[in-house]
Structure 1
Amino acid sequence: MSAHENTWPNNIARKAVLEFQAYSARGGATNALHLDANESPWAPPPVHSTCGFNRYPEQQPSELRARLADLYGVNSAQIMIGRGADEAIEVLLRTFCESGQDCILVCPPTFGYFATCAAIQGAGVVVAPLRADFSYDGDLMKVKMRQAGPSLKMAFLCSPNNPTGNVVDPKIVEELCVDFPQTLIVIDEAYAEFSAQDSFADRLSEFPNRVVLRTLSKAYALAGVRAGVAIADERIIELMLKVLPPYPIPRPVEQAVMAALTPAAMPVHAARLKLWKSERSRMADALKASPFVNKIYPSEANFLLLDINEDAKLLRALAKYQVKIRDFRKSLPGKMRLSIGRPEENDIALAAFGVEIKPQRPQRIGEAHRKTKETDIAVRVNLDDASGTQINTGIGFYDHMLGSMAKHGGFGLVLTCEGDLEIDTHHTIEDCALALGTALANALGDKSGAGRFGSFIPMDETLAKVAVDLSGRAAMVFKGVFPTDHAGEFPAEMCPHFFESLSQTLGASIHIEVCGDNTHHMIEACFKGLGRALMPAFKREGTDIASTKGVL
């Protein structure tokens, strides 16, 4: 055995992986004249020439790798990006398990792809089942791992576990890492964002045989993009990269992930997660009244495992409502798994389960994302829930004005902007108004039941008159002269420009008349006044559309 095979983790890797030379790919395109990879010099029509689709990507796109490392709180060298966490499982098996010799440990019921990858690689599977309450049996795992000996290359755990939804005790993971230093302890954290448990990736330096899998398919809504990571000691990642194909991350995938994970988008993801968890709790409580449900298992994932009775009758009801859930009865007698959807989707599922719920309209939630060379903006509004407002544009006064408008308008607002404030505030103020108007318009939908009209007159020495009509036609009239040119960092001239931009994307007529002696008060009165005007305009009563035309 050569010297390099005596060092960890080389001593547990497949001999062939150590001996072969990794495929020599050029790597990502640079500013050089590339005549080295037999690519087309032209972008495919009708895609813009700057897309880079005609050039081979890096095996691990550097910007994407850095962003994911930041997201998960590790170093870039500790990340391997693949086509979903599934590919990370495949690469682990190909890197460390000799066909016909080595094996892995799994703890069923669990994610079935662990065993599938082992079968494809020709590796054995050692089983340490969960206890009757679906908790991990650490003592049994240790017994099984000792019996398997050096041929056991990795133990797979899932936290939160799929399909049971429970988490593994951190003490079990720590003991396995310490007691079996020559075995990779792999924790699949596909549903970690839905759990209060800390990630197991935070102690890699202390436990170099620990591997964590993460996916963007669940919490970040990128299941169709296929992107996930393995997080591990740099030496493990180096070996895995030898086995990983040379171009696993298509450029459209890289672009989609980077767009979805911009700093501006993160508060929107957080707001969705908050709603998701709330719906999980609501569904768990509501399903107690279902005649088809014997038990609902506690879950820290985005699903609930259910113990079912009257299976045939339930399946007919689900078919009637066109609801599909996951059937685990073959491996777990009487068990089915229900994913948590949007509130209105969950209500349909409850109806299928025979749960009577108070009829309620779906909350009017609208989102918008706007990215230009000057700004990157994400907005989420909820016209029916004013809680959870979070605003960060980089302009303190502007944040205060937007917050005041949301407060007095009675709607929730999450808005984050990364703008070119090093130049000036113009683009940030204008583009935020455009994005906000789009989000509000999306939330209003066809405006059925909305009041349409509103007006308000506020404040101190300042008098502001604001009228709004959600007519679907953009118009803005502003009358007023500010005594100074700024309120803090906010240029006074941008006040009417904000309302003009908002009217364009909201599709509203906005009329404002303001007079006073203090620019700060005048601008604040305009924003608060619009909020107060929007409140009755947004208020929903009945289902009629407030127009003789029947459409707005």
Structure 2
Amino acid sequence: MSLTKLARAKVQQLTPYQSARRIGGQGHVWLNANEAADSGEFSLNCERLNRYPECQPPQVINAYAAYAGVAPEQVLVSRGGDEGIELLIRTFCEPGQDRILICPPTYGMYAISAETNGVEVVEVPLTDTRQPDFDGIIARLDEVKIVFLCSPNNPTGDLVDQAGLVRLLNAAKGRALVVVDEAYIEFCPEHSQADLLNDYDGLVIIRTLSKAFGLAGIRCGFTLASPEVIGLLLKVIAPYPVPDPVAQIAAQALSDQGLVLMRKRVDEINRLKTELAGRLEQHAQVKEVFAPNGNYLLVRFAPGSEMFARMSRAGIILRDFASKPGLADCIRITIGNPAEMDAVLNVLQEEQ
């Protein structure tokens, strides 16, 4: 008998999330995973590596709370934002009974985490203006426990309208959590929804050090929520979710000096993004450049497959979203360093 048959039936049916690393590719310019082009330098003290780490390292919690403008009891640190997403589903959704709601096209891990935990997924697609369909979501609140929104949305880059979000939060009181994933908010910090946390107990915000902080490799994310929600998540999270070296690096990244370096990185990425967007808008094969609010640009080419192949032949690995609803011929380009952006521009300038 195949050992596969011993696995849960739901797991046997699952298709793994196709991360950039799993998809892979052949090339030398990797612009497919929305990673930063650098990480900075950090020091490590190895004296306590023989000890289990704190579940919630105070130096990290306090530093992130100060950075985000919330109280320490409103912060949970986890293994990337992805663990925060999964913890919310495991904490609030009964397998085989409850559902989450997503607004495709959006980040794929909301659905994967739900399906892995035996939780069904309700889809309410984005509107023609790529906003959440707030009327459609509100009409289905009695069917779901958690609504996941992404702002800036991955992969389209669009921001959630705050007026619509407030309307949803008022409708969702006592009925469902509303989660706003702000993994890319450092690239447009004035659009964060964190100022609503104290007014709405049902609002949860997901953050990460993977993007603007350039620390995707340490897997460190944050959940911002009411103390009540954080207390519930702490019942479910693993006893030692944050390795000591990760906590040390995170605390350094969140220091005054670390924040200065992060903001310099953001300024450079935003500058390169603006330059690339300008060049793309003048290109004959470009039909649309999507909202430029993250560390990436989603671009609709004519046709996308031909441009993707040209980039690949030049050793430039991008992310193809043509199979996603409403994103035919769309390719996502991570904003890398100047040399990597020059490589992209050189391919764009080639004879058609």
Q: Hey, what does 1:163 align to over in structure 2?
A: 155
| 1:528-548 Cα deviation digits (max 9, x unpaired) | xxxxxxxxxxxxxxxxxxxxx
| Preserved CA contact (<8 Å) 2:308 2:318 | no
Separation (CA, whole Å) in 2 of partners of 1:272 and 1:344: 15
Higher RCO (C-alpha 8 Å, min separation 6): 2
Question: Quick check: 1:120 aligned with 2:116?
Answer: yes
| 1:145-189 Cα deviation digits (max 9, x unpaired) | 2xxx1x411100001101000101001111111111121010000
| Preserved CA contact (<8 Å) 1:194 1:300 | yes
- How far apart are 1:99 and its partner, in Å? 0.6
Separation (CA, whole Å) in 1 of partners of 2:246 and 2:111: 27
TM alignment of 1:185-334, pairs within 5 A: 185-331=178-324, 332-334=327-329
TM alignment of 1:479-490, pairs within 5 A: none
Within the candidate set 47, 54, 58, 1:51 is matched to: 47
Q: Hey, what does 2:78 align to over in structure 1?
A: 82
- What secondary structure sits across from 2:218 in the alignment? coil
* Letter of the structure 2 residue corresponding to residue 132 of structure 1: D
Separation (CA, whole Å) in 1 of partners of 2:136 and 2:190: 23
- How far apart are 1:92 and its partner, in Å? 0.3
- What secondary structure sits across from 1:267 in the alignment? helix
Separation (CA, whole Å) in 1 of partners of 2:289 and 2:167: 30
- How far apart are 1:136 and its partner, in Å? 2.1
Q: Hey, what does 2:58 align to over in structure 1?
A: 62
Q: Hey, what does 2:168 align to over in structure 1?
A: 176
Separation (CA, whole Å) in 2 of partners of 1:355 and 1:213: 40
Q: Hey, what does 2:92 align to over in structure 1?
A: 96
- How far apart are 1:259 and its partner, in Å? 2.0
Separation (CA, whole Å) in 2 of partners of 1:223 and 1:50: 21
Q: Using structure 1 for the length normalisation, give the TM-score.
A: 0.54
- What secondary structure sits across from 1:92 in the alignment? helix
Separation (CA, whole Å) in 2 of partners of 1:63 and 1:261: 10
Q: Hey, what does 1:368 align to over in structure 2?
A: none
- How far apart are 1:72 and its partner, in Å? 0.8
| Preserved CA contact (<8 Å) 2:148 2:181 | yes
* Letter of the structure 2 residue corresponding to residue 225 of structure 1: I
Q: Using structure 2 for the length normalisation, give the TM-score.
A: 0.83
Name the Cα RMSD after superposition: 1.8
| Preserved CA contact (<8 Å) 1:60 1:80 | yes
| 1:81-117 Cα deviation digits (max 9, x unpaired) | 0000000001000000001110011000000100111
Question: Quick check: 1:340 aligned with 2:335?
Answer: yes
Separation (CA, whole Å) in 2 of partners of 1:315 and 1:106: 28
| Preserved CA contact (<8 Å) 2:52 2:240 | yes
Separation (CA, whole Å) in 2 of partners of 1:195 and 1:98: 35
- How far apart are 1:196 and its partner, in Å? 4.8
Separation (CA, whole Å) in 1 of partners of 2:273 and 2:85: 28
Separation (CA, whole Å) in 2 of partners of 1:49 and 1:301: 33
| Preserved CA contact (<8 Å) 1:81 1:230 | yes
- How far apart are 1:275 and its partner, in Å? 1.4
Separation (CA, whole Å) in 1 of partners of 2:335 and 2:297: 8
**Larger-gyration structure (1/2):** 1
- How far apart are 1:310 and its partner, in Å? 3.1
Separation (CA, whole Å) in 2 of partners of 1:118 and 1:111: 13
- What secondary structure sits across from 1:51 in the alignment? coil
Q: Hey, what does 2:17 align to over in structure 1?
A: none
* Letter of the structure 1 residue corresponding to residue 342 of structure 2: D
In structure 2, the CA distance between the partners of 1:355 and 1:343, relative to structure 1 (3 Å rule), is farther
| Preserved CA contact (<8 Å) 2:84 2:223 | yes
Separation (CA, whole Å) in 2 of partners of 1:167 and 1:251: 34
- How far apart are 1:270 and its partner, in Å? 1.5
Within the candidate set 106, 115, 123, 2:102 is matched to: 106
Separation (CA, whole Å) in 1 of partners of 2:230 and 2:285: 47
Within the candidate set 67, 71, 93, 2:67 is matched to: 71
| Preserved CA contact (<8 Å) 1:130 1:136 | yes
Separation (CA, whole Å) in 1 of partners of 2:294 and 2:191: 14
* Letter of the structure 2 residue corresponding to residue 205 of structure 1: N
- What secondary structure sits across from 1:67 in the alignment? helix
| 1:381-438 Cα deviation digits (max 9, x unpaired) | xxxxxxxxxxxxxxxxxxxxxxxxxxxxxxxxxxxxxxxxxxxxxxxxxxxxxxxxxx
| 1:326-357 Cα deviation digits (max 9, x unpaired) | 1011112111111111122111111122369x
Within the candidate set 123, 135, 139, 1:139 is matched to: 135
* Letter of the structure 2 residue corresponding to residue 180 of structure 1: A
Structure 1, unpaired ranges of 5+? 1-47, 357-552
| Preserved CA contact (<8 Å) 2:303 2:329 | no
Q: Hey, what does 1:455 align to over in structure 2?
A: none
Separation (CA, whole Å) in 1 of partners of 2:76 and 2:291: 32
| Preserved CA contact (<8 Å) 1:103 1:152 | yes
| Preserved CA contact (<8 Å) 1:86 1:113 | yes
Structure 2, unpaired ranges of 5+? 1-43
* Letter of the structure 1 residue corresponding to residue 346 of structure 2: A
| Preserved CA contact (<8 Å) 2:65 2:71 | yes
| 1:167-215 Cα deviation digits (max 9, x unpaired) | 0100111111111112101000001011153321222221000000001
Separation (CA, whole Å) in 2 of partners of 1:339 and 1:142: 34
- How far apart are 1:312 and its partner, in Å? 4.1
* Letter of the structure 1 residue corresponding to residue 169 of structure 2: C
